[in-house]
Amino acid sequence: MKVAITGAGGFVGNHLTDFFTGRGDEVTGIGHNRPSNIADDSLFTWIQADTTQKGGWQDEIDAADVVINLAGKNIFGRWTEKIKQEIMESRVRTTENVAEGFSGNRSAVLLSTSAVGYYGDGGDQVLNESAGAGDDFLARVCINWEREANRAADKGVRVANMRFSMVLEKTGGALKMMLPAFKAFVGGPLSTGKQFMAWIHMTDLIHAHNFVIENNDIMGPVNCCAPNPVRNEDFSRTLGSVLGRPAVFRVPRFALSTAMGEMGDMVLSSQRVVPEKLLDHGFEFRFPEIRDALENLLA
């Protein structure tokens, strides 16, 4: 199988590239940064490109059996208007160019990243793939992102919009950012801690991609999250327990807003998201419970 991955050098891209080359698939990585964990490998080809711009890299889209679209500016940090524009454009323009790269002359599947931020703040409502979109900035990003991916379906491509939750892996992402505070005995819940968090272990995320590839009837939105979302206070308590640390230092809302601006509000959104489509098709999670996931990563 021939796989093309935009954003292959990113947090998830490194792991997906390693997974596919490790089992003998040909992988073409496309983006700004080459995957750091892939040495010289006859199964891996690297193309340096700005995927927000059209170019020769688009030829690799039409040559692939599977395209995984991960490219986009990191959302972590304080959101200025300039940063928000970069977050939006890096995803929408890349995905527009990816969809344009398909000629419609051969069968292919596109797994295009989105996020559970699509749903906005859902409170205690259980959110499956049929739930409506939110109206905040991140929801608008996801709506536009998925719209461009779905254009590939007009060319006969099977499109799955992989709505990522918080991806747990100790070498990157949100968990890596949290660890110093918890290890220093100053970790704890965010604000009230009552907001639900959707999450997924990196191993399950990688295998979910492969599962969608292998199941031809899966298309449209796919919630990439464990089946058991947890409240932030329970997540914090469990993380502290696994690390052998208390988790009693609550971070007030005003501190998040001061430090992160609009993104601080997004962090406090409640997202009780469930992976209904994956479960209905028989996907088996290796880490369905938060304690098992954190112990696997950190113990």
Whole-number percent of the chain with pLDDT over 90: 86
The pLDDT tens digits of the residues spanning 39-63 come to: 667 899 999 999 999 999 999 999 9
**pTM for the full model?**
0.96
Structural domain contains residue 75: yes
- Domain membership flag for residue 41: yes
Residue 282 placed within a domain = no
In a domain, 44, yes or no: yes
* In a domain? residue 64: yes
Which runs of E-coded beta strand occur in the chain?
2-6, 26-31, 44-48, 66-69, 109-115, 126-127, 158-164, 166-168, 196-197, 199-201, 220-224, 230-231, 272-273
Q: What is the CATH number for 50?
A: 3.40.50.720
Q: Does residue 180 lie within any of the structural domains?
A: no
pLDDT at 40: 67
Q: Which domain holds residue 111?
A: 2-165+201-225
**Considering its fold, how many domains does the chain have in total?**
1
Is 285 a domain residue?
no
Contacts of 144 (CB under 8 A, 6+ apart): 88, 91, 92
Q: Which stretches of the chain drop beneath a pLDDT of 70?
A: 39-40
The predicted pLDDT at position 38 comes to: 73
Q: What is the reported pLDDT for 169?
A: 97
What residues have CB less than 8 Å from 182, skipping those under 6 apart?
239, 240, 243, 245, 247
Q: Indicate whether 290 belongs to any domain.
A: no
The answer for 48, left when phi > 0, alpha when psi is -120 to 50, beta otherwise, is: beta
